[in-house]
Amino acid sequence: MTSFTTQMTSTSSPVNVLDEDCGTDYVNLYKFYAAVMIIILILALPLNASVLHLFIFKLKFWKTNTNNIFLFNLVLADILLLICLPIKAYNFIIGERRSTNDTVCKAMLFMLFLNRGASIAFLTVTSIDRYFNVVHPGRKNLLRALKKSPQISIVIWLLLLPLTIPTMLKNFDCCNSHKANSSSVEELVDSMREVVFFSQIVIPFFILVYCTVHIVNRLRKKTVGDRTKLRRAVFLVTSVMVVFSFCFLPCTIARVVLLVSRVELWSKTSQAKAAAAFDGLMVLSYLDCLLDPLIYCFCSTKFKGLYLSTYFPFLLKGDQVMPESSTGNTPQTRSTNNVI
């Protein structure tokens, strides 16, 4: 009778009950993570929204042949990623690593993977474009031809959609990959999911390293031009590499440790610590949404002047305020459209 009651209880339990691997014993630590995400949201969302406004209404990014199209999509992806943070923060506050609602959980996974992947993709494409402009100026390449059309951005978004499919098949946040009792189908899904996670970071990382090293070497060999501008350009490409490494490599390493802890069947305490470290470093990766506009946009003195003259004109001297005519079809507009 007892076994029958137990069986009835287990079969009648809701399907969206929180998996034991998705709970946490470190409630206070996860509340701290939630506070960090809220701070990132408060700082990054207005910044990205204001930059997005400039791209649309001041720079008119779709009319230019510069990196503005890619940077617009980079900022857009960061904004969409930031929108997910309040739900994530709420789950952390109540001691859950993900939502107990299956629909909300899968929607969050879709948004996080798609927009995080888009952010990294457009960051990488922008670096590749800068590589060709600096290292191989004048050489014809496919990217230079494609970036003249805004449709290339749509293609990049569509290519990222299939990469979200493995994350929707099972709950990814709680790292239940490659358990001892997994079936062959589950093992295949787990492997696909991990390939997506690591490829989104590792492949762009090596591309960024290659582009950064060659760009820095090329700029240092230049003997003509303003040395201040050259130093600023070296600082920019180096900063991109440092920020990417700081935001994404730690969570990648933590993911490896967490997978090893599950596969090697470490103690529950060790697995819980590995999970907490991974979640914390994933929170660290969201800083990329705050640092992207600061690096790519505000390293340009012209864009910084446009931003300040639009939102904080009182911080500029009278002769530094950019006139409204700069957004028209004047030579100054063409200069402004290439500020980044």
Reading the chain (340 residues) residue by residue, the pLDDT tens digits are: 444 444 444 333 333 334 456 778 899 999 999 999 999 999 999 999 999 999 888 887 777 655 778 888 889 999 999 999 999 999 999 988 887 777 888 788 888 888 888 989 888 888 888 888 888 887 766 666 665 666 778 888 998 888 777 766 665 556 555 555 556 666 777 778 788 889 889 999 999 999 999 988 888 887 666 777 777 778 888 888 999 999 999 999 999 998 888 878 788 888 889 989 999 999 999 999 999 888 877 677 778 888 888 888 887 765 555 544 344 443 343 434 444 4
> Domain residue spans in the chain?
23-170+182-299
CATH code given to domain 23-170+182-299:
1.20.1070.10
Nearest 5°: the CA angle 314, 320, 321 is 60
